[in-house]
Structure 1
Amino acid sequence: MQLAYSHPFPYPRETVWKLIQDERVLRHAIPGCKSFSHIEQDSYHVEMGLSVGPVKGLFSGQVQIANRQEPGYYQLLVKGKGLPGEIDATAHMHIEETEQGAVLNCQMEVMVTGVLASVGQRVMGGVAKLVLGQFFKAAEEEMNKLASQV
């Protein structure tokens, strides 16, 4: 399944670059985050609870930041398992400068198994876009707290 999502930020690209990968921002931005712990450089163990439409359950997995090209591109690699199934996703994160700040464009390739796959691509696409929207809105709120420190 292919997904795309864009979110504007009221900060310069360099600020968004630093903060969107900050452990504090990630911890608070992941919807339903129950635990977030550092495994090794750029790799984190995450537990999150989801309850969006037909997708309900606790997921445990790993988030890794990879292939950084400062200040405009990186990848988020996400693998997770839960009773509803498994998720394996690669998110291509492009940060572009605009007159109002920066826009983060996310293109994702997502593979799901189990009950998640059985609900259909249309439903999963809607759930994924809702979760992405929640992530970026929460990331911006956390950035608002930390931007003065950058």
Structure 2
Amino acid sequence: MQMSDQKEIAADPATVYAALLSPEVLKACVPGAQEVTGTPEDGFEATVTQKVGPVKATFKGQVGLSDMVENEKLTISGEGKGGAAGFAKGGAVVTLAPSEGGTLLSYDVEAKVGGKLAQLGSRIIDGFAKKMADQFFANLQAHLGPQDPGGDGDAPGGEGNDEKKGWFSKVTGRG
């Protein structure tokens, strides 16, 4: 499977680059991520649970970073195993460029799947990959902070992730 796209992120390239290297940000942004640990130098280990068509699995895998040019480019490569569901492995070249709205992030992904996942067919896999990428970038934008000055007035001064935490604390009374 191959996929390329561009996304406009309302933050400067240095902020976006730093976010892509942070395990805490990755855990908050990768759909289904239960755990992300490690460092950009040594690589990350991740546990992600996802449902692809009728197949639901928890993938455990490693992600490495290379060809890193600060605030401009990086190459991501990884492999995850989901037991009987199969495996996924691949890589992405990510480039960042300043734009009027903040940063234009471009990516080219090449990935392979095997096991039960491969039996689902390329249309389902490709649709799932596109959905995952779109959700990741929506989460990244939300994490970097809402840039809409016409918001609801409760814009936090902290992490920019308070919208997700807000409903939980309202329901449970915990922060």
The reply to whether TM is greater than 0.5 is: yes
Consecutive unaligned residues in structure 2, runs of 5 or more: 146-157, 161-175
* 1:139 lines up with 2:159 in the alignment: no
How far apart are the structure 2 equivalents of 1:141 and 1:122? Answer: 29
Consecutive unaligned residues in structure 1, runs of 5 or more: none
Greater strand share, structure number: 1
Q: Is the 8 A contact 1:31 1:131 kept in 2?
A: yes
* Range with bigger deviation, 39-48 or 101-110: 39-48
> How high is the sequence identity, in percent, across the aligned residues?
27
For 1:1-150, what aligned pairs fall within 5 Å after superposition? 1-38=1-38, 41-82=41-82, 83-144=84-145, 146=159
Cα–Cα, structure 1 residues 55 and 104, in superposed 2: closer, same or farther, change >3 Å?
A: farther
Q: Is the 8 A contact 1:5 1:129 kept in 2?
A: no
TM-score normalised per structure 1: 0.88
TM-score normalised per structure 2: 0.77
Secondary structure at the aligned position of 1:31 is classed as coil
Secondary structure at the aligned position of 2:141 is classed as helix
* Range with bigger deviation, 50-59 or 112-121: 50-59
Of structures 1 and 2, the larger Rg is shown by 2
Tell me how far 1:23 sits from its aligned partner.
2.1
How far apart are the structure 2 equivalents of 1:12 and 1:118? Answer: 41
Tell me how far 1:125 sits from its aligned partner.
0.6
Tell me how far 1:52 sits from its aligned partner.
3.7
How far apart are the structure 1 equivalents of 2:101 and 2:73? Answer: 19
Q: CA RMSD in A?
A: 1.8
The C-alpha deviation readout for 1:42-97, integer Å capped at 9, x for no partner, is 41111110024234211111122221012211011120000311111101101121
One-letter amino acid of the structure 2 residue matched with residue 56 of structure 1 = K
Tell me how far 1:119 sits from its aligned partner.
1.1
One-letter amino acid of the structure 2 residue matched with residue 127 of structure 1 = F
Q: Deviation above 2 Å: which 4+ runs of structure 1? A: 39-42, 52-55
Tell me how far 1:38 sits from its aligned partner.
1.7
Count of aligned residue pairs for this structure pair = 147
Q: Is the 8 A contact 2:40 2:64 kept in 1?
A: no
Of structures 1 and 2, the one scoring higher in RCO (CA 8 A, sep 6+) is 1
Secondary structure at the aligned position of 1:11 is classed as coil
Secondary structure at the aligned position of 2:144 is classed as helix
Q: Is the 8 A contact 2:40 2:65 kept in 1?
A: no
